Homo-oligomer: A and B are copies of this chain.
Amino acid sequence: MTAAAPALAGLVRRLESIGPLTAAEREAVADLPAAIRTLPPRCPIVREGERPGQCCVVLQGWLCRSNVLGSGKRQIHSLHIAGDMPDLQSLHLPVMDHNLDTLTPALVAAIPHEALRELLASYPGVAAVLWRGTLIDAAMVRQWMVCLGRRAALEHTGHLLCEMYLRQQAAGLAAGFRCPLPITQSDLGDALGLSTVHVNRVLQSLRAMGLITLQNGTLRIHDWERLVALSEFDPTYLHREDAPV
């Protein structure tokens, strides 16, 4: 059940990118009990309405949070990569108001709420960092919302690509304007609030403009400056202390 030491190294790294930890705090986080699971793609982790007793940490692969409407339409509100804790909110809000699923094959660690609560009680510094983390998460959702409500499909898609590149770069998963984007156009549509067909056309259009290519789950950004300009992408909302790009 309890993981070997290096399993939560990615989490420690992520938290330190959000705020400072003391050596004792680092160690306490790394020593959290974590049950590691390998999951297939499109696999439910937690469902709306449930009351989970643990939080999960992404070790590998992509996860998403979403809601599904009666019509079957799905809106993804966030994409999660290694280092993220997508359902940390369940620690304070017992009933899930959305779903958490894998998009790709994934490796996740489950940490019992109880262990987290003990950690937070003993190390208020960790609590502060996690709080800050949930605020950044919320800021990303708000920005996503602005794109959904007020940007055209082209700009919106470009904005998402910029965000996912920068986030992966910060996590050490990308460099050189090249990063994994291992999800289908249909999932992308659920994230962007667009139909699959339209996503396809928008991507082609971005490619025709010489801005990106997207092949075999790899995104290549050929002209970062123009893509940023087109999407009016301003990384402030990621609240990174170091300078992005």
- In the complex, A95→B239 CA distance in Å? 8
Contact of A138 among B89, B124, B149, B237 (CB under 8 A): B89
Residues of B within 8 A of A137 (CB): 138
State the copy count for this chain.
2
CB under 8 Å from chain B, chain A span 105-134: 124, 127-128, 131-132, 134
In contact, A139 and B93 (Cβ under 8 angstroms): yes
In contact, A148 and B151 (Cβ under 8 angstroms): no
* A70, A128, A141, A150 interface centre (most CB from chain B within 10 Å): A150
- How far apart are A69's CB and chain B's nearest CB, in angstroms? 6
Residues of B within 8 A of A75 (CB): 145-146, 149-150
Residues of B within 8 A of A48 (CB): 236
In contact, A74 and B138 (Cβ under 8 angstroms): no
Asked if A177 CB lies within 8 Å of chain B CBs, one says no
Residues of B within 8 A of A138 (CB): 89, 134, 137-138, 141
- In the complex, A93→B18 CA distance in Å? 10
In contact, B98 and A149 (Cβ under 8 angstroms): no
- The size class of the interface chain A forms with chain B is 35 or more
In contact, A132 and B67 (Cβ under 8 angstroms): no
User: Given A124-B124, A193-B150, A232-B70, do A142 and B77 touch, yes or no (CB 8 Å)?
Assistant: yes
- In the complex, A48→B74 CA distance in Å? 31
* Apart from A93-B135, A95-B239, A149-B193, 8 more pairs, CB < 8 Å: A67-B146, A75-B146, A75-B149, A92-B128, A93-B139, A124-B127, A127-B127, A149-B192
